[in-house]
Amino acid sequence: MTILLYDGTFEGLLTAIFEVYEYKFDPAEIIAEERYNTESIFSATHKVSTDQEKSDRVLKRLEKNIGKKGISQLLKVYLSENENAERLILSAVSQSILFPNEYILENFANSDIMEIAKITKSVSREVHRMHAFVRFEKLQDEVYFAKIEPDFNVLPLIIRHFKNRYQDQKWMIYDLRRHYGIFYDLNEAQFFEPALEQTSQLKRTENILHEEEIQYQKLWQRYFFKTNIPERKNMNLHVQSLPKRYWKYLTEKL
């Protein structure tokens, strides 16, 4: 068994997959460096240095075998931060190389593929929830700001949606758990990583809200209350559709 250690990036992972074939490591396991903490005496380790060219070659091959749709599924598995992500992606890539003419990601009777389908579904659902549950607050400097704590690392997957939607207002979405965000400045949306002393300010925004903000929040809360039909109360359905872990950032549930 050879353990390949990579830098945790998607390109790094694809480079590692390339090297599994290049050096014929079999069996092989790919682990992100920061997650690797056990020195196993039975396996050799191989350190992967991320190589754009190798990564692109894997991508090109994948595009031929499983298309952009397939690559996007594997990217979702990577962003899921699932502990088996590397193994599943390697498995899918190997299967696509063995059966280049089949869309192997639809072989749902294979347990790895079924697991990929499940993870992809969870990640897609989280993306959809972020489209739905992000709540912007207007700040004094006219920036619409939202905090999120998604279950998976979906921020890269939601940029396009918000960019298409909000073109005439500045906005910012910040992932509190992963300490990075996106900022749209009316021209382009870019990632940012705040310095440590800034992060506490991003958590507490009540002193920098726009003067109208509280009024509109209140209107929304009252609307939310009034549009409910008490005679039809169904809290099970309510909580099922609106899981409690999202409540702390939902204006209407504050």
Partner 1 sequence: MNFPRLQEKLEILADAAKYDVSCSSSGGNRKNKKGGLGDSHATGICHSYTEDGRCVSLLKILLTNHCIYDCAYCVSRKSNDIKRAAFTVEEVVDLTINFYRRNYIEGLFLSSGIFKDAETTMERLVRVAKKLRKEHNFNGYIHLKSIPGASDEIMKEAGLYADRLSINLEIPTTRGLKLLAPEKSHDQMIKPMGFIKNELNLYKEEKKIFKNVPKFAPAGQSTQMIVGATDETDLKIIKVADHFYQNFKLKRVYYSGYVPMLEDKRLPSIDSQVPMLRENRLYQADWLMRFYGFKADEILEKSNPFLDLEVDPKLAWALRNREQFPVNINTATKEMILRVPGIGRKSMYKILTARNFQKLNLEHLRKMGVATNRAKYFVEFESQNIFNKYIDDFNFRKIILQGMKSKFQNPFSEQLTLF
72 binds partner 1 (CB under 8 A): no
Q: Which of 1, 189, 153, 17 is nearest to 92 (CA)?
A: 17
134 binds partner 1 (CB under 8 A): yes
Output the six-digit token pair for 235: 């809290």
Pick 142 or 197: Cβ nearer partner 1: 142
Angle of CA points 224, 248, 218, to nearest 5°:
35
Question: Of the candidates 164, 204, 206, 207, which one interacts with partner 1 according to CB under 8 A?
Answer: 164
Output the six-digit token pair for 37: 């903490």
Pick 50 or 110: Cβ nearer partner 1: 110
252 binds partner 1 (CB under 8 A): yes
144 binds partner 1 (CB under 8 A): yes
191 binds partner 1 (CB under 8 A): no
The least CB distance from residue 104 to partner 1, in Å, is 8
184 binds partner 1 (CB under 8 A): no
218 binds partner 1 (CB under 8 A): yes
Spatial separation of the C-alpha atoms in residues 237 and 232, rounded to whole Å: 11
220 binds partner 1 (CB under 8 A): yes
Q: Which of 35, 40, 37, 47 is nearest to 86 (CA)?
A: 35
Residue indicated by tokens 């704590």: 149
Pick 3 or 208: Cβ nearer partner 1: 208
Pick 218 or 248: Cβ nearer partner 1: 218
Element (H, E) at 136: none
Pick 55 or 82: Cβ nearer partner 1: 82
Asked whether 50 and 7 are in contact (CB, 8 A), the reply is yes
Instruction: Go through 198-214 and write b for each residue having 16 or more CB atoms within 10 A of its CB, e for each that does not.
Output: eeeeeeeeeeeebeebe
Residue indicated by tokens 């310095």: 195
107 binds partner 1 (CB under 8 A): yes
The least CB distance from residue 42 to partner 1, in Å, is 32
Residue 143 forms beta bridges with which residues? 170
Give the binding site for partner 1 (CB under 8 A): 102-103, 106-111, 114, 117, 128, 131-138, 144, 146, 161, 164-169, 212, 215-216, 218-220, 222-224, 226-238, 240-242, 250-252
